[in-house]
């Protein structure tokens, strides 16, 4: 039995049009995400085989493969739930208050998140995260699927900036893709993640 499985989407591939096309969603979910799931399972199997044979000559490759593919699986699993054809348009409640507190205003947050996403050199993700050490929201640039973010931070809202996420629809005009993203954010999902992160992540790193 594989450890990791491809999650079903809660909306149709065409549901996010015109902001993200059905063709991109189909390829992105059924091909790209599925490949990360398969890659993560393969890495686990290869590690098990290495332990069985007490043969760790390729362990660096297996560890890197696991980080990359499991990263891809987790990132996309979050991303799909961060999107909705029925976006509320903007956050509300405690998340809205926290965004004002830590970024100045919702517009300043959007400008910062958009700039961080557009500024990624190569493939990666723009991420709004909860930092349990500083007890604050932060914006991070995740490189590829697994690098350049702090350990223990909890992702709340992610934007896929890999070319496979937008190129068929937007070609090289990344700014239009990021602008369209704001029309399909599932703020209810982000608020749910925010509440869970604040409740469950406190003290998880045991720094003192
Ligand atoms: Mn992707």
- Whole-number Å distance, alpha carbon 23 to ligand 1 midpoint, is 13
Kindly give the distance from the C-alpha atom of residue 193 to the centroid of ligand 1, in angstroms, as a whole number: 20
- Residue 43's domain comprises 20-82
Please say whether the beta carbons of 162 and 35 come within 8 A: no
Among 82, 101, 125, the domain boundary falls at 82
| Within a domain: 7 | no
Check: CB of residue 13 under 8 Å from CB of residue 29: yes
How far does the centroid of ligand 1 lie from the alpha carbon of residue 39, in Å?
14
Distance 183 CA to ligand 1 centre (A): 19
Q: Are residues 71 and 110 in the same domain?
A: no
128 and 78 housed in the same domain: no
* Segments of the chain scoring below 70 in pLDDT: 208
Which residues, 6+ apart, have CB-to-CB distance to 22 below 8 Å? 12, 13, 14
Q: How far is the CA of 198 from the centre of ligand 1 (A)?
A: 27
In the listed set 82, 105, 125, which residue is the last one of a domain according to the structure? 82
CA of 54 to the centre of ligand 1 (A): 35
- pLDDT at residue number 206: 73
Please tell me the predicted confidence (pLDDT) of residue 201.
79
Q: How far is the CA of 101 from the centre of ligand 1 (A)?
A: 30
User: pTM of the prediction?
Assistant: 0.95
128 is a domain residue:
yes
CA 8 / ligand 1 centre spacing (Å): 15
For residue 31, the CA-to-ligand 1 centroid distance in Å is: 10
Residue-level pLDDT at 207: 72
Structure tokens at 71: 């990263």
Domain presence at residue 12: no
Is 100 in the same domain as 78? no
> How far does the centroid of ligand 1 lie from the alpha carbon of residue 72, in Å?
7
Q: How many domains does the chain have?
A: 2
How many angstroms is it from 32 CA to the middle of ligand 1?
7
State the pLDDT at residue 90.
Answer: 97
- How many angstroms is it from 123 CA to the middle of ligand 1? 9
For residue 151, the CA-to-ligand 1 centroid distance in Å is: 21
| Predicted pLDDT of residue 144 | 98
Predicted pLDDT at 1: 81
CATH assignment of the domain containing 30? 1.10.287.990
**Cis upstream peptide for 18 (omega within 30°):** yes
pLDDT at 204 (0 to 100): 74
- Looking from the CA of 20 toward its CB, the CA atoms found within 13 Å total 32
């Amino acid at each position: 039995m594989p450890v990791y499985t491809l999650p079903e989407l809660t909306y149709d591939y065409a549901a996010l049009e015109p902001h993200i096309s059905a063709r991109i969603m189909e390829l992105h979910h059924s091909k790209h995400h599925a490949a990360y799931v398969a890659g993560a399972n393969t890495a686990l199997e290869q590690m098990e085989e290495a332990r069985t044979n007490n043969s760790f000559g390729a362990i660096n490759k297996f560890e890197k493969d696991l980080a990359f593919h499991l990263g891809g699986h987790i990132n996309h699993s979050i991303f799909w739930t961060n999107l909705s054809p029925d976006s509320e348009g903007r956050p509300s409640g405690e998340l809205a208050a926290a965004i004002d507190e830590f970024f100045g205003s919702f517009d300043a947050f959007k400008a910062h998140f958009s700039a961080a996403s557009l500024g990624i050199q190569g493939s990666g993700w723009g991420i709004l995260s909860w930092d349990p050490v500083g007890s604050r929201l932060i914006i991070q640039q995740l490189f590829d699927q697994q690098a350049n973010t702090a350990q223990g931070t909890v992702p709340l809202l992610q934007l896929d900036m890999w070319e496979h996420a937008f190129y068929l629809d937007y070609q090289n005009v990344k700014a239009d893709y990021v602008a369209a993203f704001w029309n399909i954010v599932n703020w209810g999902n982000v608020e749910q993640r925010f509440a869970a992160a604040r409740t469950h992540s406190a003290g998880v790193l045991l720094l003192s």
